[in-house]
Amino acid sequence: MKKALLLLTLIFVSVSSGCGVFERVRPTATETPIIETVTPTVLPDPVVVITSVPSAKESAETFLSAWEREDYMAMFNLLSQVSRDAIDYEAFESRYRTTSINLTLDKIDTSITALLTNPTTAQVGYHAAYETKVAGSFERDMEMNLVYEGGSWKVQWEDGMIMPELRGGNLIKLDTVAPSRGVIYDIEGVPMAKEEQAYALGVIPANVGPSAWGALVNELSRLTGKTPQIIDQLLKEANEYDYVPIGEVPSDDIESRISSLSQYTGLFVSRYDASRFYYFGGSAPHIIGYVQPIGAEEVDTMRREGYAINERVGRLGIEKWGQKMLTGTRGVSLYVTDPDGNVITRLQRVEPTQASSIYTTFHEEFQYDLQRAIHGFNAAVAVIEVNTGRILGLASAPTFDPNLLDFTNYNSNYSADLLYGSNRPMYNRASQGQYPLGSVFKIIVMAAALESGLYTAESEMDCPHEWRNLEGITLYDWTYEHEMAPSGLLTLPESLMRSCNPWYYELGLQLYRNMGQDYLPSMARGFGLGSLTEVGEIEEVAGNVETPRDEYTSVQMGIGQSTLLVTPLQVARFMAAIANGGTLYRPQVVEQIIDPDGEIEYAFEAEEQGKLPISNATLATIREALSMVTSNPRGTANHFFRHLHYPIWGKTGTAQTGPGVKPHAWFAGYTNENNPDKPDIAVAVLVENIGDGSDYAAPIFRRVIELYFDGQANLLYPWESAVYITRTPTPTATPTRTPVPTRAPWEIPPTETPEP
């Protein structure tokens, strides 16, 4: 008891001697402990409990740390009661958030510089370094008052704690001047996207006189670049009293002809200021992309990046990928204003700099022809330079006109199908479409068989109509459904030439049994399937390569079915690797980036990503088999490549997607011309839900080769009456279905037979 009384006396003396004294201390100083006396009712004598005095410095640091994290609720919880009575949380949070947005604040660093304290009040000096997105960096020194309240230190808040200039309710205002958006060109400098004044063209067919019809169609063809046949078809298939949007034309191409155009009744010409004009009705729209206004839900985020709310930003493709390069550096002026908006002072000023320009890896004319080559289908084409990974063409059908996404364009009133159409024209089937690969996958199965040591190029097997090597299961060759004779005895390379299903059912089974369930999918992953190509500049998906869970699943994988999903871009890439000796290159669509001074910021360089996991001997055998597919009279695509001047190495594929739905048609291959003026290419063609690969994808592949090497189509498609003109109205494929999961043997109809 005497010890307790002595201790209490010492505490009283110590506290009394310290009253009213302020000390300047180093930021690392600790606070003096306080000893509190507690007298529990259940004990006969007082009990002394020692705790720590809450530190004013710690409370200030907690407040500033929460500011750095933008945790405004944590900051508000540290305010004194008087401060909370003066400002509620919503106003407090809005004050900080709005200031951060208008400053374009990127980061704030704080540190305590001084501390004055007595038992009930404290004053903290602190330093703040502001880093902004567009207005540079600056620093301020400020003070924070604290009060000891309710057992802890609380902040006496006022506006000057954000910045001294904001004391009294002053505000930050940011004025932004955006330079012209950079131009996107093709590889030879043909503009693809540019800020431009333009005219929208449309026709009401019923108002066009019969004698003027042909002249008007030809005039519209000259202006828009669309063929007269396509324009004629558009007008004749529409309701004759409806407005039919034809396209958009830059002002320089049309203003000298306005007077002559005015003679055509039924033609409507509407001028608009395009914030972004896409030439040729949107050539390569899935690569170039498009811009759109800043949405209401992203205004604060974009303003904080320094954007004016009326700007447009890239939403797809290169426009999105190259957003920072294409916008340049904004000119900004940062002001302090009074609450009524009157300018008090200017804090910062940054002059604008012009944007960079981006050059793509493809020729606009070839790209435009690729789009026309698959017009009328749900389809995709990917063309890659064999030895570099350059994307020389990437087309997805149906395609779209990005100009229709500009709301100042009158034709945009007729753009609902872009966003809501069932055929999803803005969806890039070449890099985002995921499809079963069908018989093209047999290339990888053949590679796995040769690398396993279980088979050689001389291995032989009969190719009958039926395969019955799993108990209770009967699977069929494609020749059965086509009522053709079985292919007979085939070597392994010949099995690829004939696309023999029984051979690959057997390989799927034996590789599973002898090499393990992950052997075949591992080979597929080694060819780049099941992962992103890392193209970067455009959107893509990874596809799907799963490990077979049982023998039957592996059998289905042997013919490229089961749950296997790939993109046409992935297929073109591994075909390029077969052609170049085994190197997988990263696909790229940007050739150069040029800064405003004409200096090269970036120049294309081929990027190796890995090697195919196969030997040179296996590679040679695969190449031999791919050559036979097109050159041997028994090859599944021989009839479509006769008389072509360029030898082709390739493979047909017909991928099932479910009962009652037509299969996807595939053809993938490459050239080996060694022409220094025309680098060799690998091409993958996919047509959704249409039929056999040899009937649809192979002719399109041939068209691509002719366009690339000859600059024109030399052979009509079987469905054409003239180049790009179908014999019947535009063919329409059924929507893509997601492949059904592998079914149990008893659920499979005996006539369900994948084709070549």
CA distance 494 to 84: 83
The reply to whether 558 and 698 lie within a common domain is yes
CA distance 631 to 344: 81
CA distance 61 to 575: 60
CA distance 100 to 95: 9
The reply to whether 188 and 66 lie within a common domain is no
Instruction: Tell me the C-alpha to C-alpha distance, in Å, between residue 643 and each of 546, 630, 680, 681, 732.
Output: 41, 11, 19, 19, 30
Tokens 């063609």 sit at which residue? 685
CA distance 681 to 694: 20
The answer to whether residue 634 is domain-embedded is yes
Specify the CATH number for the domain of residue 486: 3.40.710.10
Residue 50 has pLDDT above 90, yes or no: no
Strands (E), 534-689: 583-585, 590-594, 600-603, 608-611, 649-655, 664-670, 681-687
The reply to whether 118 and 220 lie within a common domain is no
CA distance 109 to 68: 7
Of the residues 360, 392, 425, the one at which a domain ends: 360
The answer to whether residue 620 is domain-embedded is yes
Of the residues 168, 200, 216, the one at which a domain ends: 168
Buried b (16+ CB within 10 A) or exposed e, 509-534: bbbbeebebebbbbbbebbbbbebbe
The answer to whether residue 752 is domain-embedded is no
CA distance 658 to 653: 16
Residue 241: partners with Cβ closer than 8 Å, 6 or more residues away: 204, 205, 206
Beta-strand pair 184-185/171-177: unpaired
Q: What is the mean pLDDT of residues 655-683?
A: 95
The reply to whether 207 and 131 lie within a common domain is no
- pLDDT value at residue 728: 59
The reply to whether 681 and 556 lie within a common domain is yes
The reply to whether 161 and 177 lie within a common domain is no
Residue 675 has pLDDT above 90, yes or no: yes
- pLDDT value at residue 756: 59
Residues 149 and 80: beta-carbon distance below 8 Å: yes
* pLDDT single digits (tens) 364-404: 999 999 999 999 899 999 999 999 999 999 999 999 999 99
Residues 164 and 319: beta-carbon distance below 8 Å: no
- pLDDT value at residue 722: 81
Mean pLDDT lowest for which of 51-65, 206-220, 249-263? 51-65
Q: What type of residue sits at position 753?
A: T
Closest CA to 403 of 262, 250, 559: 250
Q: What is the mean pLDDT of the chain?
A: 88
For residue 275, give both structure tokens: 């914030």
419-424, Cβ contacts within 8 angstroms, sequence gap of 24 or more: 422/735, 423/378, 423/398, 423/735
The reply to whether 200 and 70 lie within a common domain is no
Of the residues 133, 168, 203, the one at which a domain ends: 168
The reply to whether 223 and 330 lie within a common domain is yes
The reply to whether 135 and 265 lie within a common domain is no
pLDDT-derived band at 600 (thresholds 50, 70, 90) equals very high
- Domain limits for position 148: 56-168
The reply to whether 447 and 525 lie within a common domain is yes
For residue 436, give both structure tokens: 């079963």
Give the HSE-up count for residue 317: Cα atoms under 13 Å, Cβ half-sphere: 27
The answer to whether residue 200 is domain-embedded is yes
pLDDT-derived band at 737 (thresholds 50, 70, 90) equals very low
Q: What type of residue sits at position 681?
A: I
Tokens 């974009």 sit at which residue? 302
The answer to whether residue 549 is domain-embedded is yes
The answer to whether residue 314 is domain-embedded is yes
The answer to whether residue 564 is domain-embedded is yes
Specify the CATH number for the domain of residue 273: 3.90.1310.10
Closest CA to 100 of 126, 69, 146: 69
Give the HSE-up count for residue 89: Cα atoms under 13 Å, Cβ half-sphere: 8
The reply to whether 97 and 206 lie within a common domain is no
Specify the CATH number for the domain of residue 147: 3.10.450.100
The answer to whether residue 569 is domain-embedded is yes
CB neighbour class for 223 (10 Å; exposed up to 12, middle 13-18, buried from 19):
buried
The reply to whether 65 and 139 lie within a common domain is yes
The total of structural domains in the chain comes to: 3
* pLDDT single digits (tens) 219-268: 999 999 888 888 998 899 899 999 999 999 999 899 888 888 989 999 99
DSSP assigned state of 632:
S
